[in-house]
């Protein structure tokens, strides 16, 4: 796989939707391309997060520690970014990621991603827009949930 294919994959990630191609190429170039065989951990809940993962192929289980042991709460899909919360704000990993099958992942380190944001404000804007959209949706969901709770 070359940069070009990685750029294709990045383009499908919603977060990088409106960003032009050369910047995506730069992002791809400064990220590490890593492979994870099935069963290997990408990260563990509670540890400090120093990078985000962009999944090019394969899938990972999202596991959360509960009093009854680890519990699968979701599964990541191709062309999605996970762990980006950790590189935007300093919080520990909120979940454990374990590869389900052989995965192909682009790892972006926190420092490099922040440098990139500083360097190209339009990427920041795009990231902001995506996060705002998510927040808006979450707020709406919350409101709906509250209404549902009040109505019942």
Partner 1 sequence: MEKSLFRFIWKYSSRQQIYILLVTVLSYPVVYFLLELPKLIVNDAVQGDNFPKSVFGFDFDQIPYLVLLCFTFLGLVVVSNGLKFYLNVYKGRLGERMLRRLRFELFQRVLRFRLPHFRKVSSGEIIPMITSEVEDVGGFIGEAFALPAYQGGMLIVQLGFIFMQDPLLGLAAVASYPVQGYVIPMLQKRVIILSRKRVKNVRLIADKVGESITGVAEIHANDAAAFHSADISDRLYENFKIRYEIFNRKFLIKFLNNFMNQLTPFFFYLIGGYLVIEGNLSIGALLAVIAAYKDLAGPWKLLLSFYQMTADVSVKYQTVVENFDPKDIYDTDRLTSDENVKLTGDVKFDNVSFSGGAAGQEVMDISLKVPSGEACAIVGPDGSGRSEVLQLAAGLVSASTGKVFIGEHDLDKLTDSTLGREIAYVGGAVHVWSGTIRDNLYYGLRHRPLVLPKREGEDLKNYKRRVSEANETRNPVYDLAADWDDLEAAGVSSVTELDEKALELLEAVQLSKDIYRLGLQSRFDPSMNDTFAEKILSVRQNLAERIVNEPALGGLVELWHQDRFNASASLADNLFFAVPSDPEITMDQVPDLEEVKTFLSETGFDQKLQQIGLKIAETMLELFSNVSGDSGLLGSYSFINQDELPEFERIVRVAKSGQQRPGLSDADRSRLTGLAFKLVPARHRLGVMTDELKEEIIGARKRFLEGVVKNSGSFVAFDPDVYLPPLTIEDNLLFGRARVDRRDARRRIDDVIRAIVEETGLRRPIIYAGFGYHVGVSGSRLSAGQRRRIALVRGLLKNAKITILDDIATGMTEDDKALRDGLRNILAGKTFLFGTFNADIAAEFDQRIVLDQGRISDKG
Residues in touch with partner 1 (CB under 8 A): 1-4, 6, 22, 25-26, 28-30, 32-37, 42, 107, 112, 115-116, 118-120
In the chain, the largest separation of any two C-alpha atoms, in whole Å, equals 54
Query: Do the Cβ atoms of 92 and 49 come closer than 8 Å?
Result: yes
Query: Do the Cβ atoms of 24 and 79 come closer than 8 Å?
Result: no
In whole angstroms, how close is the CB of 104 to partner 1 at the nearest point?
9
Residue 98 token pair: 């374990």
**Which of 95, 117 has the CB closer to partner 1?**
117
**Which of 3, 62 has the CB closer to partner 1?**
3
Residue 49 per-residue DSSP state: P
**Which of 35, 65 has the CB closer to partner 1?**
35
In whole angstroms, how close is the CB of 135 to partner 1 at the nearest point?
28
Choose among 38, 43, 34: nearest CA to 6: 34
In whole angstroms, how close is the CB of 143 to partner 1 at the nearest point?
40
């Amino acid at each position: 796989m070359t940069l070009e294919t990685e750029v294709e994959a990045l383009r499908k990630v919603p977060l990088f939707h409106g960003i032009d191609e050369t910047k995506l190429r730069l992002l791809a170039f400064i990220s590490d391309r890593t492979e994870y065989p099935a069963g290997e951990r990408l990260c563990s809940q509670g540890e400090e997060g120093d990078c985000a993962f962009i999944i090019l192929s394969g899938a990972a289980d999202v596991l959360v520690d509960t009093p009854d042991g680890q519990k699968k709460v979701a599964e990541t899909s191709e062309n999605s970014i996970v762990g980006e919360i950790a590189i935007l704000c300093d919080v520990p990993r909120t979940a454990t990621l374990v590869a389900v099958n052989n995965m192909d992942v682009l790892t972006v380190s926190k420092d490099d991603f922040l440098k990139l944001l500083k360097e190209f404000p339009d990427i920041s804007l795009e990231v902001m827009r995506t996060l705002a959209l998510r927040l808006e949706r979450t707020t709406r969901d919350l409101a709906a949930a509250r209404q549902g709770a009040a109505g019942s």
